[in-house]
């Protein structure tokens, strides 16, 4: 079940089925607005690097929310194994938050994953991103552990997906 579309927002997705790297790079470049600035500094990578990390995986998905031509949200992830997907990076422009954009991107990601036969979605976040932490919890993720990297504590989360069509 897909979440409703927020008014005036268009959603686009690119994946491994039709790997148009030029379009992917263009959307990532367009996303280097407030949506990307919302990410921790260490994750603000150049578009070709992000595209390269995605496309080196057998299965990947890149989603974008647009208001006109402006990318106002995005969600990127890839399959680590045939049945396990890592929801890697995402963000919503602060001016467009609390409109259901992140919820819709997540719902679409999980529907796509289920259609690919993926059974488990994993992600991590930090306490700094409480909105994302709460959205993950409200969306059925469980906290399964923590890890520390570069002095930052990350919260590890997992969600088991029902088979497609159920």
Amino acid 4: pLDDT: 60
CATH number (3.40.630.30, 2.40.30.40, 3.40.50.10710, 2.40.40.20) of 10-160 reads 3.40.630.30
Amino acid 36: pLDDT: 59
* Range list of H helices, the chain: 21-30, 34-37, 47-55, 101-115, 130-138
Summarize pLDDT for 5-36 with one digit per residue, the tens.
Answer: 777 899 988 887 766 666 766 666 666 555 55
User: What pTM was computed for the model?
Assistant: 0.83
Judge whether 108 and 11 are in contact, CB under 8 Å.
yes
Domain edges within the chain: 10-160
Amino acid 20: pLDDT: 64
Amino acid 35: pLDDT: 55
DSSP code of residue 42: G
Amino acid 94: pLDDT: 84
Amino acid 1: pLDDT: 46
Strand, helix or coil for residue 163? coil
Summarize pLDDT for 110-121 with one digit per residue, the tens.
Answer: 999 999 999 999
Amino acid 46: pLDDT: 56
Q: Note the Cα 60 to chain centre separation in Å.
A: 11
Could you report the average pLDDT of every consecutive run of 10 residues in the chain (166 residues)?
72 77 67 56 56 77 87 88 90 88 95 95 90 93 94 94 78
Q: At what angle are helices 101-115 and 130-138 packed, to 10 degrees?
A: 50
The region, left, alpha or beta by phi > 0 then psi within -120 to 50, assigned to residue 46 is beta
Amino acid 2: pLDDT: 55
Nearest residue to 28 (alpha-carbon basis) of 53, 3, 7, 6: 53
Amino acid 17: pLDDT: 75
Amino acid 163: pLDDT: 78
Amino acid 41: pLDDT: 46
Can you read off the two tokens belonging to residue 102? Answer: 């992140």
């Amino acid at each position: 079940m897909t979440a409703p579309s927020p008014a005036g927002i268009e959603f686009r997705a690119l994946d491994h089925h039709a790997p148009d790297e030029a379009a992917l790079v263009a959307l990532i470049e367009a996303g280097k607005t407030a949506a990307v600035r919302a990410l921790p500094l260490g994750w603000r990578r150049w578009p070709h690097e992000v595209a390269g990390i995605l496309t080196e995986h057998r299965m990947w998905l890149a989603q974008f929310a647009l208001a006109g031509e402006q990318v106002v949200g995005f969600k990127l992830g890839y399959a680590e194994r045939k049945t396990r997907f890592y929801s890697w990076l995402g963000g919503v422009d602060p001016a467009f938050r609390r409109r259901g954009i992140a919820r819709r991107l997540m719902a679409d990601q999980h529907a796509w994953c289920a259609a690919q036969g993926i059974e488990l979605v994993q992600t991590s976040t930090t306490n700094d991103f409480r909105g994302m932490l709460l959205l993950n919890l409200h969306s059925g993720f469980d906290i399964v552990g923590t890890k520390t990297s570069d002095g930052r504590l990350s919260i590890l989360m997992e969600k088991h997906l029902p088979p497609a069509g159920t």
